[in-house]
Amino acid sequence: MKRTVYLLLVSLMIISCSEKKNQSTNYDFIVDDLGNSFQFENPPKRVIALAPNLTEFIYDLGLQHYLVGNTTYCDYPEDAKLKDKVGDMLTFNFEKILTLKPDLIFITVEGNTKETYDKF
């Protein structure tokens, strides 16, 4: 759980960084809980959360304007119910996810399977 929170916080800090004129073209990379590293050319602006706790973290950090989709279980805060739904925590509508064109998808290793992770 702590690793998921850490990954979320690091990722959201990258998102919230303002662009500077002399900034390099690549942004810091993140490493997920499985050891995979990712590097962004631009800060992610469209994110999807595939677990209620991840949606709540995004809202707690005041970054809900980046959230374009979440699961049917994401019902807090109340505004989270208004986001596009991409499935529940075990079954996802991958076509819907693709139509939302996310830059970053938050997924938990505790609640989601490796097969789901591999599809992303």
Structural tokens at position 100: 């939302």
pLDDT at 10 > cutoff 70: no
Find out if CATH 3.40.50.300 is the number for domain 2-119. no
pLDDT at 23 > cutoff 90: no
Instruction: Confirm if 31 and 90 have CB atoms less than 8 A apart.
Output: no
**Rounded mean pLDDT of 7-16?**
62
**Rounded mean pLDDT of 25-41?**
78
* pLDDT tens by residue, 81-96: 999 999 987 789 999 9
- pLDDT at residue 91 in the model: 87
Domain spans, the chain = 2-119
What 3-state DSSP class applies to 55? helix
pLDDT at 104 > cutoff 70: yes
- pLDDT at residue 39 in the model: 87
Paired sense of beta strands 104-106 and 29-31, if any? unpaired
What secondary structure letter does DSSP report for 46? Answer: -
Structural tokens at position 75: 């019902």
**Rounded mean pLDDT of 68-80?**
97
Q: Can you say whether residue 28 is alpha, beta or left, with left for phi > 0 and alpha for psi between -120 and 50 degrees? A: beta
The secondary element (H helix, E strand) that includes residue 51 is none
Q: Burial-class residue 116 by CB neighbours within 10 Å (0-12, 13-18, 19+).
A: middle
- The predicted model scores a pTM of 0.72
Between these two residues, 117 and 70, which has the higher pLDDT value?
70
